[in-house]
Amino acid sequence: MKKNILALGFLITFSSLVSQEKLKSPAYLKAGDTIAILAPAGILKPSRKAVVLQAKQLAESWGLYVVLGKNMFHQNNHFAGTDNERAADFQEALDNKNIKAIWAARGGYGSVRILDKLDFTKFTQNPKWIIGYSDITAFHNHIHNLGIETLHAMMATSLEEKPEEIIETISTFKKVLFGENLSYIIPLSKYNRTHNLDTIQGQIIGGNLAILTSMLGSKSQLNTEDKILFIEETGEYKYAIDRMLQSLKRANYFTNVKAVVVGNMSLIKKNSTKWGSSIEQLILDAIPADIPVIFNFPAGHEADNRALIFGRKTKLNISKEHLTLSFD
């Protein structure tokens, strides 16, 4: 028990040190590189095999070679194969020097079940891009604490959306993979709380709110000090979102954070007892009043899901006309 407490203390201290340093950036891709498409979490039903092959064709059209996880279409109740099968696919891709990126086919649930089965030793020596959102937040958090950047971006099944609605989703994903600069104009919101600041800078981290909360108390918990925290969520009741925000607040996620950037809050469920305020006001009420909060960033569980480089130093420029987010 004492050893476990000491180990957790070391990891939290290491996480604090990581928060102050520039993270390792995996090499950007170039034509001729190989990527792997895997399913580390939820089941891929037979009807979704076509969209995975479509994603493979998309990457190949960019000059990349694509390998598919050998177990990714297996079915084990809720999951895309057993925990051991999903972990085996992920481990193989982590250790293979020829694979330059791991692209999640979908999220769902299950990433956390394989995290502690994985050995990241070779990965930390030869980092590669880990790509996805939603349940893949578990990997984003864990790998951030290893000191390596990751990509919060579209997954293979994102191609199920209407083509005209995912133009920027695909474009920003390709740009970041091949090392082009990313800069976004964020639509203004009347709920923005900026405290008359012109600029906010810090590493951007975060992801899906439910997964962020589920990491609390583990070695994958984030240190948010001096960082910009991104959050998004889908399919939850307002009271559940408040509960998760209150949990993060009690864990000091908002104590020394530079700002909170709010992405898509999608498909909010209606409870029989009304919450009494908008989702934006709920978020503002939960986050301490001295912390800047920016709404309307187009990322999360919507067709328009722009790529973010988690762990990269980010700058928010604020004016009365617009806000911009750019990466160093």
Q: What is the pLDDT of residues 202-212, one digit of tens each?
A: 999 999 999 99
Compute the average pLDDT of residues 257-261. 98
pLDDT over 70 (residue 50): yes
pLDDT at 17: 47
pLDDT at 6: 46
Q: At what angle do helices 279-286 and 238-250 cross, to 10 degrees?
A: 20
pLDDT over 60 (residue 327): yes
Residue 213 · residue 245 · CB < 8 Å: no
Q: What is the pLDDT of residues 212-234, one digit of tens each?
A: 999 999 999 999 999 999 999 99
Residues 6+ apart with CB under 8 A from 17: none
Compute the average pLDDT of residues 19-31. 88
Half-sphere exposure of 123 (CA within 13 A, CB side): 22
Q: What is the pTM of this model?
A: 0.93
**So where are the chain's domains?**
18-177, 183-327
Q: What is the pLDDT of residues 59-111, one digit of tens each?
A: 999 999 999 999 999 999 999 999 999 999 999 999 999 999 999 999 999 99
Compute the average pLDDT of residues 273-282. 96
Banded model confidence at residue 5, pLDDT cuts 50, 70, 90: very low
Q: What is the pLDDT of residues 135-148, one digit of tens each?
A: 999 999 999 999 99
pLDDT at 20: 52
Compute the average pLDDT of residues 277-287. 98
**Domain 183-327 - what CATH class?**
alpha beta
CATH number of 18-177: 3.40.50.10740
pLDDT over 70 (residue 53): yes
pLDDT > 70: percent of the chain: 94
Residues 6+ apart with CB under 8 A from 75: 43, 45, 81
Compute the average pLDDT of residues 53-58. 98
pLDDT at 118: 98
pLDDT over 80 (residue 14): no
Banded model confidence at residue 161, pLDDT cuts 50, 70, 90: very high
Q: What is the CA radius of gyration of the chain?
A: 19
Q: What angle do CA 155, 158, 159 make, to 5 degrees?
A: 120
